[in-house]
Amino acid sequence: METQYQIKENGFDEIKKKIILRVVPIALIAMIGGLTIGHFTTNGQSSNMNVLPFLIPFIIVIMALGIRKGVKRQKDIFNSYKLIIDNQKIIRQQHLTPDIEIPLEEIKEIIKNKNGTFIIKGEKLSNTIGIPSQLEKIEEVEVKLAEITKIIQNDKKPFLQRFFWVIPILTVGLLMSVYISENKILVGFSTIVLILGAIYSLISTQRSKHVDSKTKKGIWFIILVLFSVITVSYIKLFGN
């Protein structure tokens, strides 16, 4: 017997605040980093300082519009979430992402996190289904999952949630090192880390079944950033 579950009404409202509280600081870190790089690469010229009172509000408005649009897109994707459970398999369907199907006999473990979400792990790393706590009849879903295999309780926050801020701060710091520092060792080291990080991000994002197609297309802008980083690094390391 097949049973389908969708996101409950107004379910996105429960996570909207968390999304904004994550996105806004990252956007501010990026803005501050960009302005700092711009200031030092132009040697802090007064003409550039005079334009900041006009530039900063403009950037903030653009960021606000971008965040608003991004949150709306995430809402549409989140609300399209559908979980299908039958006697043979579990399927997750979601807008702009490929379906994830795990046969019951291939389920390695089911984890329940402290925040009420579930993670179903299949034999392959790519076959992982995340179940949000905002799913309708979540108690019924938990009962069905417990009939498949024992549910493991996880009282710790996932690694990426605990160290979420490290990546954006580290990335901005490395970019500042490349564009601002004159130390060749620091510039070379930062460039290598940025290249490796960008390659890993591109590959993992394109392979992931949890990232929507628009995000996968948009992340290719990293190539432009890498081109700029490599160019600046080459000039500083091998230029006259």
| Contacts for 20 with CB less than 8 Å, ≥ 6 apart | 67, 71
169 and 226 within one domain: yes
Are residue 86 and residue 49 in the same domain, yes or no? yes
Q: Tell whether 27 and 132 lie within a shared domain.
A: yes
- My answer on whether 101 and 11 are in the same domain is yes
Single out the residue in 99, 129, 156 at which a domain terminates. 156
Residues 34, 130, single domain; the answer is yes
What stretches of the chain show up as alpha helix (H) in DSSP? 13-41, 46-79, 138-148, 159-162, 166-180, 184-207, 213-218, 222-238
Residue numbers of the domain that contains 237: 165-240
Average pLDDT, the chain: 84
pLDDT band at 193 (very low <50, low <70, confident <90, very high): very high
d(CA 195, CA 199): 6
Which of the four pLDDT bands, split at 50, 70 and 90, describes residue 42?
low
- 110 and 136 housed in the same domain: yes
DSSP letter, residue 96: T
What pTM value is reported for the model?
A: 0.77
Whether 47 has a pLDDT exceeding 50, the answer reads no
10: left (phi over 0), alpha (psi -120 to 50) or beta: left
CA 55, CA 172: separation in Å to the nearest integer? 20
Average pLDDT of the residues in 55-64: 74
Task: Indicate the pLDDT class of residue 84, thresholds 50, 70 and 90.
Answer: very high
Whether residue 150 is found in the same domain as residue 171: no
Average pLDDT estimate for 197-205: 88
Please state the rounded mean pLDDT for residues 107-122.
Answer: 90
Residues forming a β-bridge with 102: 90
User: Do residues 235 and 187 lie in contact, with contact meaning Cβ atoms separated by under 8 Å?
Assistant: no
Q: Are 175 and 229 in contact (CB under 8 A)?
A: yes
> Domain boundary at 156, 191, 216, which?
156
Inform me whether the pLDDT recorded for 165 exceeds 60: yes
Same domain, 107 and 209: no
Q: Clarify whether residues 95 and 195 are in a common domain.
A: no
